[in-house]
């Protein structure tokens, strides 16, 4: 998304351009000039802009322009925005962004307020949500119509923004990466987090046995209350020893590991022979390169992402429909345990990285 700041004029960019021979900078300047030429017609909204990757202070509250939707796009006015750990990876640079400045954030819900020429599936006034489309940290945004899903009346904007990305992740982890059944014993790290609390409830609904890890006693209570059969507090217990005890030395069928560096390679020691190690996140840092012989016992390893599992429109819709059915039936409830005004997104990032949040977090607009 090309951005133009309210306080910069055209002349500023022309002068900056003449001082550099860098082709990328010239292209970036050209894009900004185009945005400024349509200044009179463009709509100004507030957004969190990332100029350079870095710590939470890199998230700046600024005015940006939004153009009319092009072919295949809609303009969406957010009612609520979801906070996810991937936002931290984008902000810090762990997951490189193709262009800066950028508006980060992958999830939100709100109303369609304008549609591009060839958009037929949605109309102005529709209530919609999405997960997996960069550019959410803004009052309004453009988004491809193919990325949005209409919300059932029973699903509020806040719940959709809080959970679409996290619940759709649990759905593909449990139904596709490894097919969880009533016979499954799993280890699930960060069981009291956003993805974690939904996983506790979904595992209970499937009749599976979930052993969860958490970082405090309060979080242990929360995970148990949400259906986690056994909870290990990693501040006071070795999760490998405890999993061995809890499974009579057998180990688990599958380990869902979103912690990364700190739990590698220990998570592998919690698996049965031919068990499945699902490494789906890096909250403590990325898993280092490793020798395949570590997968002793004929283990399987997967490094999945929601984007790959929902790349086709039909897969995105099928996943979202399952999530909505779980919500409407009451089999999963979304614990929105933190709310921050969008302009305070930096504080939300600080809390998430400090392990001070539980359940889901929304940025309010
Ligand atoms: P969470 O709410 O789960 O927050 C992260 C949690 O990880 C913390 O609360 C903390 O719980 C635990 N943690 C352990 N060690 C650390 C550490 N060193 N720094 C920070 N946190 C740590 O976040 P989300 O629900 O948004 O995401 C959970 C994970 O799932 C993330 O790793 C994310 O990247 C991943 N994910 C992957 C997707 C995919 O498709 N691959 C999609 C969605 C999420 P505790 O204190 O209890 O240990």
- pLDDT value at residue 2: 37
**Closest residue by CA, ligand 1 atom 11:** 190
Query: What is the Cα–Cα distance from 199 to 192, expressed in whole angstroms?
Result: 9
Same domain? 328 vs 267? no
Residue 102 has pLDDT above 90, yes or no: yes
CATH code, 143: 3.90.180.10
Residue 303 has pLDDT above 80, yes or no: yes
The domain boundary residue, chosen from 278, 303, 328: 303
Query: Per residue in 217-248, pLDDT tens?
Result: 999 999 999 999 999 999 999 999 999 999 99
Maximum CA extent, the chain? 72
- pLDDT value at residue 17: 30
142 falls within a domain: yes
Q: Say how many domains are in the chain.
A: 2
* HEC sequence for 339-350: EEEHHHHHHHHH
Same domain? 157 vs 78? yes
**Closest residue by CA, ligand 1 atom 4:** 193
Q: Please give the average per-residue pLDDT across 206-216, as a whole number.
A: 98
Query: What is the Cα–Cα distance from 199 to 258, expressed in whole angstroms?
Result: 12
Query: Per residue in 26-73, pLDDT tens?
Result: 455 445 544 444 444 578 999 999 999 999 999 999 999 999 999 999
**Cα 84 to ligand 1 centre (Å):** 8
130 falls within a domain: yes
Query: Per residue in 172-191, pLDDT tens?
Result: 999 999 999 999 999 999 99
Same domain? 189 vs 85? no
Residue 100 has pLDDT above 60, yes or no: yes
31 falls within a domain: no
Q: Please give the average per-residue pLDDT across 207-224, as a whole number.
A: 98
Q: In the chain, where does DSSP find H-type helix?
A: 10-18, 23-37, 85-92, 157-172, 194-206, 217-225, 239-246, 306-309, 313-328, 345-353
Per the structure, the complete domain to which residue 336 belongs is given by 42-163+314-364
Same domain? 159 vs 245? no
Same domain? 322 vs 274? no
**Cα 85 to ligand 1 centre (Å):** 6
259 falls within a domain: yes
78 burial (CB, 10 Å; 0-12 / 13-18 / 19+) is buried
228 falls within a domain: yes
- pLDDT value at residue 239: 98
- The pTM score is 0.91
Same domain? 292 vs 331? no
Residue 12 has pLDDT above 50, yes or no: no
Cβ(284) – ligand 1 distance below 6 Å: yes
Q: Please give the average per-residue pLDDT across 2-28, as a whole number.
A: 35
Give the mutation target among 281, 282, 284 for probing the ligand 1 site: most ligand atoms within 8 A of CB. Answer: 281
> What are the backbone angles phi and psi of residue 168, rounded to the nearest 5°?
-65, -30
Cβ(287) – ligand 1 distance below 6 Å: no
**Strands 360-364 and 336-341, bridge-based pairing:** parallel
Query: Per residue in 345-357, pLDDT tens?
Result: 999 999 999 999 9
Sign of the C-alpha dihedral computed for residues 193, 222, 181 and 323 taken in this order = negative
Same domain? 50 vs 147? yes
6 falls within a domain: no
Query: Per residue in 279-302, pLDDT tens?
Result: 999 999 999 999 999 999 999 999
Same domain? 122 vs 218? no
The domain boundary residue, chosen from 303, 330, 352: 303
CATH code, 281: 3.40.50.720
**Closest residue by CA, ligand 1 atom 46:** 215
Same domain? 149 vs 81? yes
168 falls within a domain: no
Q: Please give the average per-residue pLDDT across 106-123, as a whole number.
A: 97
What proportion of the chain, given as a percentage, has pLDDT over 90? 88
Same domain? 217 vs 123? no
Same domain? 148 vs 226? no
- pLDDT value at residue 42: 72
pLDDT band at 15 (very low <50, low <70, confident <90, very high): very low
Rg from Cα positions in the chain? 22
Cβ(200) – ligand 1 distance below 6 Å: no
245 falls within a domain: yes
The domain boundary residue, chosen from 303, 329, 355: 303
Same domain? 101 vs 190? no
């Amino acid at each position: 998304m090309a951005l133009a700041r309210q306080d910069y004029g055209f002349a500023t960019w022309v002068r900056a351009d003449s001082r550099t021979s860098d082709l990328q900078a010239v292209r970036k300047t050209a894009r900004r000039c185009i945005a400024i030429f349509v200044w009179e017609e463009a709509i100004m909204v507030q957004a969190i802009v990332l100029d350079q990757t870095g710590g939470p202070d890199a998230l700046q509250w600024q005015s940006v322009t939004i153009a009319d939707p092009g072919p295949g796009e809609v303009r969406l006015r957010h009612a609520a925005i979801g906070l996810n750990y991937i936002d931290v990876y984008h902000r810090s640079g762990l997951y490189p962004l193709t262009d800066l400045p950028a508006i980060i954030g992958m999830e939100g819900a709100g109303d369609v307020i304008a549609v591009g020429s060839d958009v037929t599936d949605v109309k102005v006034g529709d209530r919609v949500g999405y997960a997996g489309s960069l550019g959410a940290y803004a009052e309004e945004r453009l988004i491809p119509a193919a990325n949005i899903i209409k919300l059932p009346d029973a699903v509020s904007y806040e719940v959709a923004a809080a959970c679409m990305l996290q619940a759709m992740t649990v759905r593909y982890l449990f139904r596709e990466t490894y097919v969880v059944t009533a016979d499954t014993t799993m280890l699930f790290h960060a069981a009291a987090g956003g993805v974690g609390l939904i996983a506790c409830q979904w595992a209970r609904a499937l009749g599976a046995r979930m052993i969860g890890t958490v970082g405090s006693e309060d979080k242990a209570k929360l995970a148990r209350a949400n259906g986690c059969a056994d909870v290990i507090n990693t501040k006071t217990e070795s999760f490998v020893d405890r999993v061995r005890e809890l499974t009579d030395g057998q180990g688990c069928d599958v380990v869902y590991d979103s912690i990364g560096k700190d739990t590698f390679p220990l998570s592998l020691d919690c698996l049965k022979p031919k068990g499945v190690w699902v490494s789906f996140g890096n909250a403590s840092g990325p898993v280092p390169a490793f020798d395949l012989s570590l997968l002793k016992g004929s283990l399987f390893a997967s490094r999945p992402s929601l984007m790959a599992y929902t790349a086709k429109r039909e897969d995105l819709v099928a996943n979202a429909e399952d999530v909505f059915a779980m919500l409407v039936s009451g089999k999963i409830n979304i614990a929105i345990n933190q709310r921050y005004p969008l302009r305070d997104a930096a504080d939300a990032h600080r809390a998430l990285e400090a392990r001070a949040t539980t359940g889901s977090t929304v940025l309010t607009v």
